[in-house]
Amino acid sequence: MKPKIYITRMLPRAGLDLLAEEYEVEVNPHDRVATREELAAGIKGKDALLSLLTDTVDAEVMDAEPRLKVIANYAVGFNNIDVAAATERGILVTNTPGVLTETTADLAFALLMACARRVVEADGFMRAGKYEGWGPMLFLGRDIHGKTLGIVGFGRIGQAMAQRGAGFNMKILYHDAIRAPEELEKAYNAEYRELPDLLRESDFVSLHVPLAESTHHLIGDAQLELMKTTAILINTSRGPVIDERALVRALAEGLISGAGLDVFEREPEFEPGLAKLANVVIVPHIASASVETRTRMATMAAENACAVMRGEMPPNIVNPEVWDRRQK
């Protein structure tokens, strides 16, 4: 008899087909985030769980099925999972790192361009039938080429963003908790700055940090006041990195010129008033939403889950100490 896996939401077919070779597959029939009750009920009698970043998998959920062996997260991040609780229970946790680097950087730069050139505003203007002919002051935006791009978080996605900025002949500044080696700075022609200095100097600021206690509300009132009034802020990292209430105030009062957001502090909700502002572009957490990337994420998550059932170490393991204990 095949082991059983519960999948919290429909995934690209390639991932499901891989899982079906090793598992008896059950998928949440609702195209929405599973409730806690549905999640707990879904994993009963299952050997594996394939979860999404929107699923909160804590100790209580894990205890709904004591025989659970692996939680395969369909995401690079895994802050939705209580990894310590999983480790204590001998449950392997896996993720899908590296796969969405370029796709996320594409979206971040697309938001940057859409904000700078007021693309969404202009599109709405046209659809409303307001266009009466070319005018010299119609939807004046801001140039991107030759400007200064400040990147906060210089990991893989931050570096990919730097590559895109270089293609527009932008000056690249970066801030990270750990300064990059000199050879890496040279490779990306990037200059290190402390965060306050980066905010003061940059025309565009793009956030690429993980969500942690140290990055929660990394950008708030004080930081927004440091930015140029002409600056544009981009966030494709995690919503709570920005104090969303402070951002709405800054946008409404003209402290900064604009913002492009793919993530929000309390998803799927966002701060009242944000959607009413013309100088912000908001999209529904789609940074990795290309056919190619989402398909690869599905196959990676499936490969992780299948490896465990074959008695093999999964390729992308978050808590290797659990695997080490199993080998003793």
Active site residues: 238, 267, 285
How far, in Å, are 121, 224, 245, 252 from residue 276 at the CA level? 12, 20, 14, 10
* Cβ atoms within 10 Å, residue 312: 11
Structure-token match 């093999």, residue found:
312
Q: Which helix (H) or strand (E) holds 4?
A: strand 4-7
* Alpha-carbon span 22 to 46, nearest angstrom: 13
- Judged by DSSP in three states, 149 sits in strand
Describe the crossing of helices 13-22 and 291-309 by its angle, rounded to 10 degrees: 10
Q: What is the largest CA-CA distance in the chain?
A: 75
Q: Facing residues of 94 across strands?
A: 72, 317
Q: Check if the beta carbon of residue 323 is closer than 8 Å to that of residue 92.
A: yes
DSSP characters over 18-74: HHHHHSEEEE-SSSSPPPHHHHHHHHTT-SEEEEETTS-B-HHHHTT-TT--EEEEE
- Residue type at position 160: A
- Judged by DSSP in three states, 325 sits in helix
Ramachandran class of 118: left when φ > 0, alpha when ψ lies in -120 to 50, beta otherwise: left
* Alpha-carbon span 45 to 64, nearest angstrom: 9
Find, among 187, 253, 252, 201, the residue nearest to 231 by Cα: 201
| DSSP category for residue 224 | H
Q: Check if the beta carbon of residue 312 is closer than 8 Å to that of residue 323.
A: no
